[in-house]
């Protein structure tokens, strides 16, 4: 079994997340992509706006019934900061024998050496490095990493939150069920 692990704050989840996950699923021949919402991401502790529970609900709504995708709330059950190495240990134990691919953007890859236990992460999973057209080239992709060409979508959760706060439309930037949750809960105003 080949499993993609897509961690993030998903604050909120948007169509860019879904398109990238679909690209990686197809290009790596994955059986599924697990969306893993972070409870307390160590690098964004003060910046997460919606509660972990609401973000998980929005991710579930975003993926709908797509059989390629699942939501895994394992980080939401954990106390304290969410470290990738802990998540991969748990997934490796749960999916014995599966090949794990951890989705990571070029921006996050630059900081990867500073993450908790990067060598152990590379022993448990390949890094699926998301390569968008126009991104700077990596000088060398090391062992344990695979470059995955993905569709370039110039969209961020930050921009969506800004648009909501400014009273602008987010239609077509997030799925309709996610938009409904945001409106109903009064998020990001």
Between 5 and 153, the higher pLDDT residue: 5
* Beta-ladder partners of 147: 129
What DSSP state is assigned to residue 139?
Answer: S
pLDDT reading at 138 higher than 70: no
89-128 per-position pLDDT tens digit: 999 999 999 999 999 988 888 889 999 999 999 999 999 9
Asked if pLDDT for residue 134 goes beyond 80, the answer is no
Please give the sequence-ordered ranges of beta strands (E in DSSP) within 17-144, or none if there are none: 32-37, 69-71, 99-105, 126-132
47-65 per-position pLDDT tens digit: 678 998 999 999 999 999 9
Nearest to 88 by CA among 76, 79, 101, 107: 101
Domains in the chain (CATH in brackets) are 2-153 (3.40.50.620)
pLDDT level of residue 139 (50, 70, 90 thresholds) = very low
Distance from C-alpha of 130 to C-alpha of 23, rounded to nearest angstrom: 10
DSSP bridge pairs for 70: 34
The 10s digit of each residue's pLDDT in 156-181 is 999 999 999 999 999 999 999 999 99
């Amino acid at each position: 079994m080949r499993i993609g692990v897509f961690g993030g704050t998903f604050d909120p989840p948007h169509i860019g997340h879904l398109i990238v996950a679909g690209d990686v699923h197809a290009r790596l021949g994955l059986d599924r992509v697990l969306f893993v919402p972070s409870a307390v991401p160590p690098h964004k502790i003060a910046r997460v706006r919606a509660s972990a529970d609401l973000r998980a609900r929005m991710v579930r709504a975003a993926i709908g019934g797509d059989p390629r995708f699942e939501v895994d709330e394992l980080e939401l059950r954990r106390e304290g900061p969410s470290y990738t190495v802990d998540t991969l240990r748990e997934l490796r134990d749960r999916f014995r024998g599966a090949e794990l691919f951890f989705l990571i953007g070029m921006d996050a890859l630059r900081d990867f050496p500073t993450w908790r236990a990067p060598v152990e992460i590379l022993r448990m999973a390949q890094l699926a490095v998301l390569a968008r057209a126009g991104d700077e080239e990596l000088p060398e992709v090391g062992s344990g990493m695979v470059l995955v060409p993905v569709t370039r979508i110039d969209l961020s959760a930050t921009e969506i939150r800004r648009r909501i706060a400014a009273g602008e439309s987010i239609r077509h930037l997030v799925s309709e069920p996610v938009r409904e949750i945001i409106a109903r809960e009064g998020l990001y105003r």
